[in-house]
Structure 1
Amino acid sequence: MATEYGQGYGLDSGSGFPGSTERRHRLPAALRAPVEGRTWRELAHVLLSLPVGILMFTYAVTMVSLGAGLLVTFLGIPVLAAALAGCRGFGALERTRARALLGLEVGEPEPLRMTKPGAMAWMGAVLKSGVSWRALLYAVVQLPWAVFSFAVALHVWLLGWALLTYPLWFWTLPMHAGPDGFQLYGDGTHRIYLDNPFEITVTALVGLLFTIAAPWLVRALTMVDRLLVHGLLGPSRLASRVVELESDRGVVVDTAAADLRRIERDLHDGAQARLVALAMDLGLAKEKLQEDPRAAAQMVDEAHGEVKTALQELRDLARGIHPAVLTDRGLDAALSSVASRCTVPVRVEVDLAERPAPAIEGIAYFTVSELLQNISKHARATWAGVEVWRTEDRLMLQVVDNGVGGADVSGGSGLAGLVDRLDAVDGILVVDSPTGGPTRVTAELPWRGAHVR
């Protein structure tokens, strides 16, 4: 695998226009917020939460209470299963509403796991599913929060806009309602109205403050909605971890299959072909041994050179599978050997008091080897550096070069392959490669304990 390093590699087409965001948004965010589409969508979500919450709460409490009361008979189980299934349906509706109005992407929870078809199996799967009970909990706890957020958001929103537009409608009070303006205070003997230009202006300014603050208040209220939807209606952490491990297992299997294909191709096209040719040359030399000993000796000499070449190819192939120096002497010696074959000078610093697990050590070796190979082929650098150290229970690698930069993990490059390989063992690869360089690639791997060899 190889990753192209070069000018403009993997850059966003819009990244070359500094200040374009400022030209699109001339107003500060605080002044834009009251009229932004995002704000109105979040307000719509808060206002819709009350009727939706009432519907969910009523359904959940009624059906669960009915099912619990009928548990003394056979009817209680199907009623309770129907209650939980309905709550799952409401959960799907809430995920859709949050996606449309809040821009919240929540994955689908794990489906029902039925061992066999049939109504009884379905009811058992619904009752045993944690997704069902989390959806029921959401239906119960969402209503109190919806009442609170509805009241707060609506009052602050209406108050802000009413005060802000007060200069436009205050004249209707003395004309149609009787009082001289908006009443600020009143008792049996005194009344204070906001009716002169100064008071009207101050009222509008106070309304402006409320109007500016209202979107951020609504946004804070919707953060709780996001947490409820994500925590109760999304996939559980255990299910997400299972899916991640299944994906990582697929990556490991694909990587192993690709490595086997590479080894087979290298053997077939390299050492095997050379050994076949060597056997043919030796056969010809055997036939010429009696009639032309000098020609036979020359052919044997050429075959001896082919044997050396074949042995070197086999050594290179074995080093690509797992170098003996890594097994015998560890990362320091193995990485120094890789660095010596790089086309630019490489400084290697390995600060490890003990050795990590063999699998992690192998991944670290091949990661650095791949990065140094990329530097040799594409970076146009004059120097490079490799650092390896341990931080708590993590093995850290960093490869730096002063090349042209522009490296990117997207586009199916070699770096993308390294990301997949490290992700399969809970590792991380971070690439910092601005155009013009320098390039800094940092890899983080789990330590997974020291092993006695």
Structure 2
Amino acid sequence: MRVLKEVLRAPFAGWTWRALLHIVSGLLIALPAFVLVVTLMAVSGALLITFLGVPLLALTLVLCRGLGTVQRSRTRALLGVRVAAPEPIRPQVERTGAMALLGATLKNGAAWRHAFHAVLSFPLALFSFITGVTLWLYGWVLALYPLWHWVFPTYTDEPGLQLYGEADGSGIWLDAPVEIALASATGVVFVLFSPWVLGGLAALDRLLVVGLLGPSKLASEVRKLESARGTAVDTASGDLRRIERDLHDGAQARLVALAMDLGLAKEKLTEDPEAAAKMVDEAHGEVKLALQELRDLARGIHPAILTDRGLAPALSALRARCTVPTTLHTEIPHRPAPAIEAIAYFTVSELLQNISKHSHATQADVELWRTKNRLLIQITDNGQGGATTHTGTGLKGLADRLNSVDGLLLIHSPPGGPTTITIELPWRDPQPTHTHTRTDNGTGTGTGTNSRPGTDSGAKGLEAAR
């Protein structure tokens, strides 16, 4: 039933009329473009024995790029398909001037693809016009034939629409009621069939525009890499500014005050031992606070639990610190690459912080699993909803950072909730750990893995501070 409704609605649907207008306008543009480009190409080729053919050929290629702009605009306006403009013509960095621009134009692959489109689009546009418009026009003419067949006997000497005729006046006319009904039924079939033909022909032209008038695959990859590099640089710069601000406003200020307090305690050590002992005790408390701030800062850079135990325990620690009751369910066979672990950890951390601050939720759920070569994370909360990447910079920046590593962020957050955010990351297995041989002050040799220096002494220092 749904298919029947769609078929009956198709002749009057907006997409049918846009496809028809696209086909008609395509021929109106392709015909003069074909004549102009072929003529200029022929003249340029003939003049290549002289220098005049070279700039004329370059001018033809520039004209083809202009025609491509018109075709992309037409496709966007009528079919709703946005085709990005190709890379601009740029001469080499070390070369400037008219000759450099001329050489860059002749070497530009996008310009030659535009020229090829100008030549190839004309036969396709002509075929589409003849096939699509003829079927559409004949369909409506025959479908409405019962309404206008009276024109023939009234204003002509013929009884109806002639299907076949001879010179002696004999022939076949559609004048009987049964013939008129059959003609109308045939027209209705054509009318119902023509939208799909028009849509298919418009889709062929759309494929031609996308394949020839858009940026090349290599240029698209370069743009994607440049965008990813810019996102990575901005993220790294923001992290460095955050670390510098936290150090300056937190641990550094506290350590400066601690040094001043210890200096005063040293001066009072001989004069007032009790006051000096009290100041040393206060300084000991400041040391603990400074160590806690440094631990929090180190956890924000890269938590030790993530390095030592993996993603699932690190997310469990995040869940425990979240102010909203959160459940965690993980199904991953083994640890992914450290870079993927870090991105997943900080993404979940930021999203849980958003839930705590903005969602007004009373329950949150985090699920983590692997599907083929992708790592999937889904975070759900029963908050007020309305989360989007269009308002604010938090989710937008998170989506950009995920895109830089071929990741994906999907948000379903209707007003009133609930909110479901799905993160998709590429799964990369960790590189095998390489062992090395070390010598311990001449006492022997052994093998081991890389470890963080000073771990034992750092642990002893923390114990002494406590």
Q: Normalising to structure 2: TM-score of the pair? A: 0.83
TM-fit CA distance, 1:198: 4.8
Q: Which amino acid aligns with 1:153?
A: G
In the other structure, the counterpart of 2:79 is 102
In the other structure, the counterpart of 1:425 is 405
**Counterpart Cα distance in 2 of 1:377 and 1:189:** 89
In the other structure, the counterpart of 1:86 is 63
In the other structure, the counterpart of 2:120 is 141
**Counterpart Cα distance in 1 of 2:219 and 2:47:** 32
Which of 252, 266, 280 matches 1:286?
266
**Counterpart Cα distance in 2 of 1:309 and 1:154:** 80
1:219 aligns with 2:199: yes
In the other structure, the counterpart of 2:312 is 332
Q: Which amino acid aligns with 2:348?
A: V
TM-fit CA distance, 1:295: 2.5
**Counterpart Cα distance in 2 of 1:71 and 1:223:** 38
How many pairs were matched up? 427
Given that 1:355 and 1:451 are in contact with CA atoms closer than 8 Å, whether structure 2 keeps it comes out as no
Q: In the superposition, relative to structure 1, how do residues 439 and 291 fare at CA in structure 2: closer, same or farther (>3 Å)?
A: same
Look up the SS of the partner of 1:209 in the other structure.
helix
In the other structure, the counterpart of 1:240 is 220
Q: Between the two proteins, what is the percent identity of the paired residues?
A: 58
Deviates more, 1:305-314 or 1:325-334: 325-334
Which of 170, 174, 186 matches 1:194?
174
TM-fit CA distance, 1:145: 0.8
In the other structure, the counterpart of 2:460 is none
Look up the SS of the partner of 1:57 in the other structure.
helix
TM-fit CA distance, 1:158: 1.7
In the other structure, the counterpart of 2:189 is 209
Look up the SS of the partner of 2:421 in the other structure.
strand
1:270 aligns with 2:247: no
TM-fit CA distance, 1:148: 0.7
1:61 aligns with 2:38: yes
In the other structure, the counterpart of 1:255 is 235
In the other structure, the counterpart of 2:302 is 322
Q: Which amino acid aligns with 1:216?
A: W
In the other structure, the counterpart of 1:400 is 380
In the other structure, the counterpart of 2:454 is none
**Counterpart Cα distance in 2 of 1:327 and 1:123:** 56
Given that 1:354 and 1:450 are in contact with CA atoms closer than 8 Å, whether structure 2 keeps it comes out as no
Q: In the superposition, relative to structure 1, how do residues 432 and 35 fare at CA in structure 2: closer, same or farther (>3 Å)?
A: closer
Look up the SS of the partner of 1:252 in the other structure.
helix
In the other structure, the counterpart of 1:304 is 284
In the other structure, the counterpart of 1:160 is 139
**Counterpart Cα distance in 1 of 2:37 and 2:394:** 52
TM-fit CA distance, 1:195: 2.5
**Counterpart Cα distance in 1 of 2:121 and 2:246:** 62
In the other structure, the counterpart of 1:19 is none
Q: Which amino acid aligns with 1:400?
A: T
**Counterpart Cα distance in 2 of 1:86 and 1:416:** 39
In the other structure, the counterpart of 1:113 is 90
**Counterpart Cα distance in 2 of 1:120 and 1:164:** 62
TM-fit CA distance, 1:197: 4.2
TM-fit CA distance, 1:297: 1.8
**Counterpart Cα distance in 1 of 2:394 and 2:28:** 52
**Counterpart Cα distance in 2 of 1:274 and 1:413:** 31
1:230 aligns with 2:230: no
Deviates more, 1:250-259 or 1:195-204: 195-204
Q: Normalising to structure 1: TM-score of the pair? A: 0.85
> What does 1:431-442 correspond to in 2, within 5 Å?
431-442=411-422
TM-fit CA distance, 1:184: 4.4
Q: Deviations over 1:200-225 (max 9, x none)?
A: 34433433333343333222211111
Q: Deviations over 1:408-446 (max 9, x none)?
A: 232024222211111111110112334444433221112
**Counterpart Cα distance in 2 of 1:325 and 1:430:** 28
Q: Deviations over 1:118-146 (max 9, x none)?
A: 33222211121111110121122111111
Q: Deviations over 1:217-254 (max 9, x none)?
A: 22221111111111101111221221222122222222
In the other structure, the counterpart of 1:42 is 19
**Counterpart Cα distance in 2 of 1:200 and 1:52:** 38
Q: Which amino acid aligns with 1:148?
A: F
Look up the SS of the partner of 1:399 in the other structure.
strand
TM-fit CA distance, 1:117: 3.2
> What does 1:382-397 correspond to in 2, within 5 Å?
382-397=362-377
Look up the SS of the partner of 1:90 in the other structure.
helix
Deviates more, 1:211-220 or 1:123-132: 211-220
In the other structure, the counterpart of 2:445 is none
In the other structure, the counterpart of 1:342 is 322
Deviates more, 1:184-193 or 1:346-355: 184-193
1:122 aligns with 2:122: no
Q: In the superposition, relative to structure 1, how do residues 433 and 36 fare at CA in structure 2: closer, same or farther (>3 Å)?
A: closer
TM-fit CA distance, 1:73: 4.1
Where in structure 1 are there 5+ consecutive unaligned residues?
A: 1-27
In the other structure, the counterpart of 1:179 is 158
